[in-house]
Structure 1
Amino acid sequence: MTPRLVATDLDGTLVGRDRTVSPRTVEVLHRLDAAGIVIVLVTGRPIRWLHPVYDQLTVRPIAICANGAATYHPGTDSIVHSTPIEPSTLAEACERLRAKIPGVVFAVERDGGRQMRHEVEFPVGPWEVNHGSVGPVSYAELLTRPAAKLLVRAGVQPADEFTALVGECLDGLAEATNSSSSGMVEVSAVGVTKGTALARVAREHAVSALEVIAFGDMPNDLAMLTWAGRGVAMANGHPAVRAAAHDVTSATNEDDGVAVYLETHCFPPVASP
């Protein structure tokens, strides 16, 4: 199958542990673009974390970020579609979680993740300390504006079990998923997933699900992989993702798994005459 659209997650999929995209992967994406195949980056990352990836590529595809809550156009530096959690829903979600989970703390990604605001107790990565777009606010202030994502922590937690608990608390109100083993749960507006966002982008390009190959490695990729005509899990992927996918790469993200797969399935070698 030669796809008309290739969608790929970033961390654990296209990007290595050192946060780089390999030259081989850069070249394969360039070949896809030259062949007229639509490329879509589909990530849990906020917008402020996208530019280090774009800086490594020779193409600048659109990005579905914040697990589907915002679609970003790098050429115009604009959000072309947004489905945030509204303040009233955000407040109800946080109150439900505070009532059920001891020690729970929150952060929110705003404006597609151009800004992050967090409770003082919420642990923030060292790369974001003293970052102008990231800062602490009171619990009340956290709930005053729409949020692309609500981030939930409660100390050290087993990722899948904690995600299930948060999802149970927010059933019918919001979507809960996770993209790491750190015990942080990522919450989006009800119905917002990587899959629903990718389906919308595909429709805008007159591309059907059967014409899409999608790559991912973690539970937040499941909706995208099961929607696509060919959902491909990474060899290093979460067991549930590998089990649900149509195919699994032969190599991990550290060994150019996406590039190897695309070279094999989209650019097969030409037979000698």
Structure 2
Amino acid sequence: MIRTSLRRIDTSGVDQGPAGLDKYRKLFADPRLPDVLTWTAVWTVAVVALTMLISLALAQLFNQRFPGRRITRWALIAPWAASVLMTAIGFRWMLDQVAGVLNRLLLDLGLIDSAEAWTGDAAHAKPWLVAVAVFVSLPFTTYTLLAGLQTVPGEVYEAARVDGASRPQTYLRITLPLLRPAFLVALVINLINVFNSFPIIWGMTQGGPNADTATTTVFMYMLRSYDVAESAALSVVNFAAVIVMVLVFLKVSGWKETDR
């Protein structure tokens, strides 16, 4: 990717010689890039934050004994087991303005007067993209946190009850600190996966209209039709961004403390 980003390659794939940093200059001069970068940041933070919050609640629920727990655990695997692209296309058809089941349901209930183009513009599409991304991210994160919860010794909770700790105190001072290693693993992997996610946005909106719903990964794929080298330049920038993002996060979170 680095080598390709420094070459001049035409649309037929013929290498026409070195280009230096011209492709990077062209990339950063693209008027669409600021909006793409902003949406990428919003997309990543929103999906990861919602996923971690909901997964923490689900993991806590699945760590309890209740009727049907095994079935609900199996049901949670479904979004993980299915193809992400297939899931995205399924949601796209569900949200379709003409044949979508969501419009049909809302019309029958009298909640809307006319069918909406849920993926036809960025304002409507972005919340749905986030929702679908959270839906497919929940299984891995929930099971990672659940595994962490199940490693907490029961004796610790017994000691807390003997000492008179309330449930909120026990959760904040015992459960969350002991869950930190699993939480950190789930958060970092989810951060990388969401930042690099391609099938959901491409399957539902293809980054449109006019790259309004494209993240840097999707925008990189869109650029390859016009300039392979510029697309490669964005790929290099993406890779560097992931490395920096993870290193900064690990530094701020004090990840080395989890080894003590």
TM-score range, shorter chain: under 0.3
Relative to its length, the structure with more strand (as a share) is 1
Return the TM-score normalized by structure 1: 0.25
Return the TM-score normalized by structure 2: 0.26
- Structure number with the bigger relative contact order (C-alpha 8 A, sep ≥ 6) is 2
